[in-house]
Amino acid sequence: MSNEKNLSLITSRLLALRDHVDSSYLFPTPEPSARTLIKANPFAFCAAVCLDRGTKADIIWTIPYWIQQRVGHFDPQRFYKLSLEEIRGLFDALPKKPRYINAAPITFQDITRIVVEQFSGDAEAIWKDRKASEVKETFLSVYGVGNGIANLALILIESAYGVTFSDLDHTQMDIKPDVHTTLVLYRLGVAPRVDQKDAISAARVLNPSYPAQVDTALWFIGREFCRPSNPVCFQCPMYDICPKVGIVVSRLWN
């Protein structure tokens, strides 16, 4: 099979898989009420996505719920009145903490300030009637948020909030290159290394009109099947077209 044909098969398989991943899967949390809060309260979504740095997704997407349980609300206007020390107190009381525990309260205070001062307390206004590049700029202006998180925010806003950015915006939307997407793109033979820049380039090659569109399926495959040391290749939807499947499996058996 030619490389071009295989790339096209990989892309169509990933896009088909994306349509089957329930949007609730994108917010993996053991607590259903936590997911409900994320989907019903755009500020909870913004706070969680900005904290999504090197911490398990099920912890990140539950943090707003834990805070709400403690203070009885998740209202940016009320958080805006808290000092940094008071916000630190909220994070210190979490049953499970984000990895960057010193930076997380600063990030939370910063996204709160931005939502209140720039968007009158309405977090949804960050993306309402705005270009993807403007939304990304807003997320990038939050303390500790880099390109990967800003990309993820755009992907999730489309998946979970029914927003559709323009075709032109889509050409400039990249995947979030994390542990899952970088490894899967490498094993699928699209990226030459497990590397963030290579992963972004690989997704652009796969789906140039909308590179971020393949992110959800890559992330799903990474979480469910393509684990670093024990991939479940025989259950993976890419099994018949993955060039690394034999290599990975034989390493396990040797």
> Which residue in 70, 133, 239, 251 binds ligand SF4 (CB under 6 A)?
239
The residue assigned the tokens 């270009």 is: 131
| Residue 47 vs 188, nearer CB to ligand SF4 | 188
Q: Does 244 bind ligand SF4 (CB under 6 A)?
A: yes
| Coil vs helix vs strand at 174 | coil
For residues 175-203, b (16+ Cβ closer than 10 Å) or e, as one string? bbbbebbbbbbbbbbbbeebebebbbbbb
Of residues 7, 26, 115, 245, which one binds ligand SF4 by CB under 6 A?
245
CB of 191 to ligand SF4, least distance (A): 12
Part of the chain binding ligand SF4 (CB under 6 A), chosen from 43-51, 150-158, 192-200, 237-245: 237-245
Alpha-carbon distance of 237 to 219, in angstroms, equals 13
What type of residue is 86? E
User: Interface with ligand SF4 includes 236 (CB under 6 A)?
Assistant: yes
Q: Which of residues 188-227 bind ligand SF4 (CB under 6 A)?
A: 188, 221, 225-226
| SS3 state at 61 | coil
Q: Is 132 among the residues that bind ligand SF4 (CB under 6 A)? A: no
Nearer to ligand SF4, 170 or 187 (CB): 187
Q: Quote the least distance from Cβ 8 to ligand SF4, whole Å.
A: 17
Interface of this chain with ligand SF4, residues 155 to 184, rule: CB under 6 A: 184
Among 52, 127, 187, 212, binds ligand SF4 (CB under 6 A): 187
CB 229 within 8 A of CB 237: no
For ligand SF4, the closer CB: 53 or 223: 223
Surface-to-core class of residue 230, CB atoms within 10 Å of its CB (0-12 exposed, 13-18 middle, 19+ buried): exposed
Q: Do residues 220 and 17 make contact, with C-beta atoms less than 8 angstroms apart? A: yes
Phi, psi of 242 (to 5 degrees): -90, 120
Q: Which of 58, 131, 242, 253 touches ligand SF4 (CB under 6 A)?
A: 242
Cα angle for residues 107, 156, 142 (degrees, 5° grid): 20
Residue numbers of the site for ligand SF4 (CB under 6 A)?
A: 184, 187-188, 221, 225-226, 231, 233, 236, 238-239, 242, 244-245, 248
